[in-house]
């Protein structure tokens, strides 16, 4: 019986082994990380969509979303202002070649206009 690792099978096995080692090893050489944080009165899109002018009460808004960041009064109407800041950080690196870091901070605002205990208008700014 002939040797199983003759010249014909040795070279393809060697190439496959080196390729696998390179691909698996490359995964250890590349890294990335992303984090996102919110602070303040965050209102999700699905919650905000539940506010129906003419139907939703101020009590529901306060119970569901929480107290506003600030309240203004204009023409016997209250305007509740909700603000939050979203901060995203991401970084990545390729071993011994380059690395990078990015920070992005965005301010968000939502307004709810209330008259006689009922929402008149709701919008994002």
Is 2 a domain residue?
no
Give the pLDDT confidence score for residue 91 in this predicted structure.
87
Count CB atoms within 10 A of the CB of residue 65.
Answer: 20
Is 87 a domain residue?
yes
Is 25 a domain residue?
no
What parts of the chain have a pLDDT lower than 50? 1
Is 7 a domain residue?
no
Give the pLDDT confidence score for residue 33 in this predicted structure.
87
Q: Are 43 and 81 in contact (CB under 8 A)?
A: no
CA-CA distances (angstroms) from residue 46 to 6, 42, 92, 98, 106? Answer: 66, 12, 32, 40, 20
- What is the pTM for the complete model shown? 0.66
The domain in which residue 82 lies consists of: 30-124
Number of domains composing the chain: 1
Give the pLDDT confidence score for residue 30 in this predicted structure.
78
Is 23 a domain residue?
no
Is 15 a domain residue?
no
32-41 tens-digit pLDDT: 888 989 889 8
Count CB atoms within 10 A of the CB of residue 82.
Answer: 23
């Amino acid at each position: 019986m002939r040797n199983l690792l003759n010249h014909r099978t040795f070279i393809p096995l060697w190439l496959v082994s080196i390729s696998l080692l390179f691909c698996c090893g490359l995964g250890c050489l590349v890294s990335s990380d992303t984090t996102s944080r919110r602070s303040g009165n965050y209102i999700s899109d699905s919650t905000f969509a539940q506010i129906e002018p003419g139907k939703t009460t101020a009590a529901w808004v306060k119970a569901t979303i929480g107290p506003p960041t600030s309240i203004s009064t204009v023409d016997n109407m209250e305007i509740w202002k909700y603000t939050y800041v979203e901060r995203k950080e991401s970084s990545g690196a390729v071993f011994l070649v380059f690395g990078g870091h990015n920070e992005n901070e965005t301010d968000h605002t939502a307004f709810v206009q209330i008259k006689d205990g009922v929402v008149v208008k709701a919008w994002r700014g």
